[in-house]
A and B are shown apart, each in its own frame.
Chain A
């Protein structure tokens, strides 16, 4: 503990376990030392002046006179900070852009948050309440919430992102060491310590925001593959999507062979931009598909009439099912 105090980075920040951590820690420590310098200068000057010019017999305040030096000093300390703050802002923004744009080769994992649990669903369609990721691979999480706001937070990775009900958000990272890290919900989401009759539960059964925590297990690629293999195989996500396509009667209107029916085909369209009836362009991404399913009238594809003949699936398709359909659509390459 005493030694740790001498190494401010490891005392103030948790272990660095992702590719972002070193740059963010660097910037953090830069601001820290900058703050230390300013703080010592301000408080040092304050204490020095206060003691030196303290009220005592024989000492009187000097009459204030207008001084050019003071004017210059004032201009200096108004303008100078701009040159210190500008690089900070710039570096912070660059780091933020890195956090925002996931590399194309990322492994995609679905994250669903709900009061008060996490669900992580892997490309093989299986889910777990602990997040396993392979070391040194880019991982992209596509996240949604089933009820209120939550936030995905792994201090060791230095990443955090809100889960907003009604839309997808995403976050990515590249773990750099194998091991284990804590995973928290960082956006307040309530809690419960009484049963439905209003009687208090035993403390072990309290549940809430603070208990919406889990672990990230960073495996070697081999261990990660083994982990995936060992999960009960129930078929990949896209296969479930295909089943839903048939079962939920999307097949009645949408084709998957590229031919045009009463509705646009799904073949080779995911990820592409296409024209809307109002002349704008829309990219067919997760959010767009989700919106089309839940609220078909929000955007009408060019060549189709409004209101859309497609019924809304709000309430009939579960989050998980929408995810499966999206995976199915993605698999329909040209």
Chain B
């Protein structure tokens, strides 16, 4: 395999590769990867970068936890600690979790699921990847230059006065935002205009519904982030008084701006995770998700309601009582579609055929952990109780239960579920399940301890703590080691399958999902010819168990 492809006899058109070869094999060498327009290769490159970001964010997290293992200084000094927790948060949010499912797995599977050869604007898709890379480099360079110690929320006026490289870090976030907007735009247009024959809105896989809802939020909310960081940069660089009271600005204005983006952003994070859970549950119960339509609509309503609750992050910042009341009421409203989803997933198991594969274990953990995350959201949405809990470890635990317990579990479920599809290799189930067990146990140990110390009054972002919190911090740090070990096992399991894994059959799970009815790994153009769908993606009742593995009959068109 040389970097320069020479025309080989028999290849149809080497500049584009053989459309009937696997996308991994259609073109060789590093070049075709770097300037590829193929959504699958772009998705895979995203996954590589995202995993590296997860690794970096994870290392910072472990260091932060290690520092908190004992009172006083354990391994790092206070300034370094402040930088590390900022880096942990910013990397996890902006470089890992926001792009993880949409830009990685979404890019790979959305076109296949809607029966298209690629996304609507493949070149834009490539650009969004490179813009992501540029944004990542700028943000990471800020680490080297001087690092940022403001927390991932960049609250003013601290962020406009501290001596660290906040300006370049926020510029990196600004650039990353554009990448996110482009991906969202691409998905919206693809879903509207490129659905294959027979794929009506009501037959759209729930994963696609989730990606579509997410894309709407990305396109509508991310520009606000861009405006906010642009204003922040103007203040830092040109001294314009916008947020800094010393210059005549208003620091609370920044919080409104920031959360106007960042609350919708939490739905950019969770809705894709939910979307994967729906796919995985359907496959491993052999049942359609209860309330398909409710599922699709609750994703959409989450996306839209999410724009109206940003103020719940500012209940102690001194808003008027009237706005406080509205934000609290709306926050409770958001809890309802989340609840409906959890009930529907649980009901899906009923009378199903529950197959405990690694992805399924992650999906079940999602229900377990996300329920805790959502229910603790109720404490925080309740005004008088939030006054006590705000800015304590309780909030930290809450959002880790939803973001890590939700989105990351969804991401891992998706990685294991689709790994054979993407790579053509089967991973080894036993170590994967051991890894899952450690992740699940470690996660709960780490964060349950944080709930308790939080409600007992331990403030967040503290380098040191009073003696009464010591047992909780110790437990949490030990939990983080178990969690870290579990994740390492999972990474090794997946990566080693690339070398030693058995070749995957086309549909190892016997799923009725559209993406499994194609070659594994997929062909360069996804299909030999665009399939005509005559059934929904969860119509298990239309096939015998053997059909599921050997090729699901499409049959005569029916239904809507």
Residues of A within 8 A of B (CB): 11-14, 20, 23-24, 27-28, 31-32, 34-35, 38-39, 42-43, 45-46, 49-51, 53-55, 59-64, 70, 73-74, 77-78, 81-82, 85-86, 88-89, 91-100, 147-149, 151, 153, 155-156, 158-162, 164-167, 169, 182, 184-194, 200, 203, 206-211, 213
Asked whether A193 lies within 8 Å of B79 as measured between CB atoms, the reply is yes
Given contact pairs A55-B354, A78-B294, A160-B388, A31 touches B379 in the complex (Cβ within 8 A): yes
Given contact pairs A54-B354, A88-B378, A166-B250, A61 touches B287 in the complex (Cβ within 8 A): yes
Instruction: List the A side residues contacting B79 at CB < 8 Å.
Output: 191-194
Chain B positions 383-414 with a Cβ under 8 Å from a chain A Cβ: 383-388, 390-392
Asked whether A190 lies within 8 Å of B162 as measured between CB atoms, the reply is yes
Given contact pairs A43-B368, A64-B288, A211-B464, A31 touches B385 in the complex (Cβ within 8 A): yes
Question: Complex: how many Å from CA A185 to CA B465?
Answer: 12
Instruction: List the B side residues contacting A206 at CB < 8 Å.
Output: 73, 77-78, 463-464
Question: Complex: how many Å from CA A11 to CA B471?
Answer: 13
Question: Complex: how many Å from CA A192 to CA B83?
Answer: 11
Asked whether B391 lies within 8 Å of A63 as measured between CB atoms, the reply is no
Total number of B residues with any Cβ neighbor in A under 8 Å: 91
Asked whether B321 lies within 8 Å of A97 as measured between CB atoms, the reply is yes
Asked whether B78 lies within 8 Å of A182 as measured between CB atoms, the reply is no
Asked whether A96 lies within 8 Å of B459 as measured between CB atoms, the reply is no
- Least CB distance from B218 to A in Å reads 27
Q: At the interface, yes or no: B6 with Cβ under 8 Å from chain A?
A: no
User: Can you name 11 A-B residue pairings with CB atoms under 8 Å?
Assistant: A54-B354, A54-B356, A61-B351, A74-B290, A74-B344, A149-B251, A155-B388, A162-B316, A188-B391, A206-B73, A208-B82
Smallest Cβ-Cβ distance to A39: which chain B residue = B371
Q: At the interface, yes or no: B349 with Cβ under 8 Å from chain A?
A: yes
Instruction: List the B side residues contacting A50 at CB < 8 Å.
Output: 349, 354, 356, 364
Instruction: List the B side residues contacting A193 at CB < 8 Å.
Output: 77-80
Question: Complex: how many Å from CA A88 to CA B379?
Answer: 9
Q: Which of B82, B353, B387, B466 has the most CB of A within 10 A?
A: B387
Query: Which residue in A28, A42, A99, A188 is a CB contact (below 8 Å) of B461?
Result: A188
Q: At the interface, yes or no: B462 with Cβ under 8 Å from chain A?
A: yes
Asked whether A81 lies within 8 Å of B335 as measured between CB atoms, the reply is yes
Segment among B173-181, B322-330, B434-442 that sits at the interface with chain A:
B322-330
Question: Complex: how many Å from CA A184 to CA B385?
Answer: 17
Question: Complex: how many Å from CA A74 to CA B457?
Answer: 39
Instruction: List the A side residues contacting B336 at CB < 8 Å.
Output: 78, 81-82, 85
Smallest Cβ-Cβ distance to B343: which chain A residue = A77
Instruction: List the B side residues contacting A194 at CB < 8 Å.
Output: 77, 79
Segment among B32-40, B149-157, B479-487 that sits at the interface with chain A:
B149-157
Q: At the interface, yes or no: B201 with Cβ under 8 Å from chain A?
A: no
Q: At the interface, yes or no: B500 with Cβ under 8 Å from chain A?
A: no
Q: At the interface, yes or no: B291 with Cβ under 8 Å from chain A?
A: yes
**Nearest 8 pairs between A and B by C-beta?**
A155-B457, A95-B384, A166-B245, A92-B382, A63-B541, A96-B383, A49-B349, A61-B286
Smallest Cβ-Cβ distance to A36: which chain B residue = B375
Instruction: List the A side residues contacting B386 at CB < 8 Å.
Output: 92
Q: A99-B387, A161-B318, A206-B73 are in contact. List 19 more A-B contacts (CB 8 A).
A: A28-B385, A38-B371, A49-B352, A61-B540, A62-B352, A77-B340, A81-B335, A91-B384, A92-B385, A96-B387, A99-B384, A158-B384, A160-B387, A165-B251, A186-B391, A186-B459, A187-B155, A203-B73, A210-B462
Q: At the interface, yes or no: B231 with Cβ under 8 Å from chain A?
A: no
Instruction: List the A side residues contacting B193 at CB < 8 Å.
Output: none
Smallest Cβ-Cβ distance to B465: which chain A residue = A210
- Least CB distance from A40 to B in Å reads 10
Instruction: List the A side residues contacting B390 at CB < 8 Å.
Output: 160, 186
Smallest Cβ-Cβ distance to A48: which chain B residue = B349
- Least CB distance from B386 to A in Å reads 8
Question: Complex: how many Å from CA A88 to CA B324?
Answer: 15
Asked whether B149 lies within 8 Å of A190 as measured between CB atoms, the reply is yes
Given contact pairs A55-B353, A92-B385, A162-B316, A13 touches B149 in the complex (Cβ within 8 A): no
Q: At the interface, yes or no: B455 with Cβ under 8 Å from chain A?
A: yes
Instruction: List the B side residues contacting A190 at CB < 8 Å.
Output: 82, 149-150, 158, 162
Asked whether B354 lies within 8 Å of A191 as measured between CB atoms, the reply is no
Q: At the interface, yes or no: B208 with Cβ under 8 Å from chain A?
A: no
Query: Which residue in A51, A81, A96 is a CB contact (below 8 Å) of B384?
Result: A96
Question: Complex: how many Å from CA A95 to CA B379?
Answer: 13
Instruction: List the B side residues contacting A54 at CB < 8 Å.
Output: 353-356
Q: At the interface, yes or no: B224 with Cβ under 8 Å from chain A?
A: no
Smallest Cβ-Cβ distance to A89: which chain B residue = B332
Q: At the interface, yes or no: B136 with Cβ under 8 Å from chain A?
A: no
Asked whether A31 lies within 8 Å of B378 as measured between CB atoms, the reply is yes
Question: Complex: how many Å from CA A78 to CA B383?
Answer: 23
Given contact pairs A12-B456, A23-B384, A96-B383, A88 touches B82 in the complex (Cβ within 8 A): no
Instruction: List the B side residues contacting A95 at CB < 8 Å.
Output: 383-385
Question: Complex: how many Å from CA A189 to CA B465?
Answer: 16
Question: Complex: how many Å from CA A165 to CA B318?
Answer: 12
Instruction: List the B side residues contacting A191 at CB < 8 Å.
Output: 78-79, 81-82, 149, 463
Asked whether A49 lies within 8 Å of B344 as measured between CB atoms, the reply is no
Instruction: List the B side residues contacting A43 at CB < 8 Å.
Output: 367-368, 371
Asked whether A61 lies within 8 Å of B285 as measured between CB atoms, the reply is yes
Q: Which of B328, B351, B353, B378 has the most CB of A within 10 A?
A: B378
Q: Which of A27, A35, A51 has the most CB of B within 10 A?
A: A35
Q: Which of A24, A81, A148, A167 has the most CB of B within 10 A?
A: A148
Question: Complex: how many Å from CA A60 to CA B250?
Answer: 63
Question: Complex: how many Å from CA A252 to CA B553?
Answer: 95
Given contact pairs A39-B371, A74-B291, A89 touches B387 in the complex (Cβ within 8 A): no
Asked whether B318 lies within 8 Å of A169 as measured between CB atoms, the reply is yes
Query: Which residue in B251, B328, B353, B463 is a CB contact (below 8 Å) of A208?
Result: B463
Question: Complex: how many Å from CA A118 to CA B78?
Answer: 20
Q: At the interface, yes or no: B376 with Cβ under 8 Å from chain A?
A: yes
Instruction: List the A side residues contacting B466 at CB < 8 Å.
Output: 182, 213
Chain B positions 50-67 with a Cβ under 8 Å from a chain A Cβ: none
Asked whether A60 lies within 8 Å of B388 as measured between CB atoms, the reply is no
Asked whether B77 lies within 8 Å of A24 as measured between CB atoms, the reply is no
Smallest Cβ-Cβ distance to A98: which chain B residue = B384
Question: Complex: how many Å from CA A158 to CA B379?
Answer: 14
- Least CB distance from B145 to A in Å reads 15
Q: B76-117: contact bitstring with A at CB < 8 Å (1 yes, 0 no)? A: 011111100000000000000000000000000000000000
Instruction: List the B side residues contacting A184 at CB < 8 Å.
Output: 457, 459
Given contact pairs A42-B342, A162-B316, A149 touches B464 in the complex (Cβ within 8 A): no
Asked whether B375 lies within 8 Å of A35 as measured between CB atoms, the reply is yes
- Least CB distance from B454 to A in Å reads 9
Instruction: List the A side residues contacting B541 at CB < 8 Å.
Output: 63-64
Instruction: List the A side residues contacting B251 at CB < 8 Å.
Output: 149, 164-166
Instruction: List the B side residues contacting A77 at CB < 8 Å.
Output: 339-340, 343
Q: At the interface, yes or no: B452 with Cβ under 8 Å from chain A?
A: yes
Question: Complex: how many Å from CA A70 to CA B351?
Answer: 13
Question: Complex: how many Å from CA A194 to CA B350?
Answer: 60
Instruction: List the A side residues contacting B82 at CB < 8 Å.
Output: 190-191, 208
Smallest Cβ-Cβ distance to B80: which chain A residue = A193
Given contact pairs A162-B316, A164-B252, A49 touches B346 in the complex (Cβ within 8 A): yes
Asked whether B285 lies within 8 Å of A14 as measured between CB atoms, the reply is no
- Least CB distance from A137 to B in Å reads 21
Query: Which residue in A14, A74, A97, A187 is a CB contact (below 8 Å) of B294?
Result: A74
Given contact pairs A35-B376, A61-B285, A85 touches B332 in the complex (Cβ within 8 A): yes
Query: Which residue in A14, A82, A96, A162 is a CB contact (below 8 Å) of B456?
Result: A14
Instruction: List the B side residues contacting A20 at CB < 8 Å.
Output: 384
Instruction: List the B side residues contacting A39 at CB < 8 Å.
Output: 371-372, 375
Q: At the interface, yes or no: B197 with Cβ under 8 Å from chain A?
A: no
Given contact pairs A53-B349, A166-B251, A210-B464, A149 touches B294 in the complex (Cβ within 8 A): no
- Least CB distance from B36 to A in Å reads 39
Given contact pairs A63-B540, A93-B383, A211-B464, A153 touches B391 in the complex (Cβ within 8 A): yes
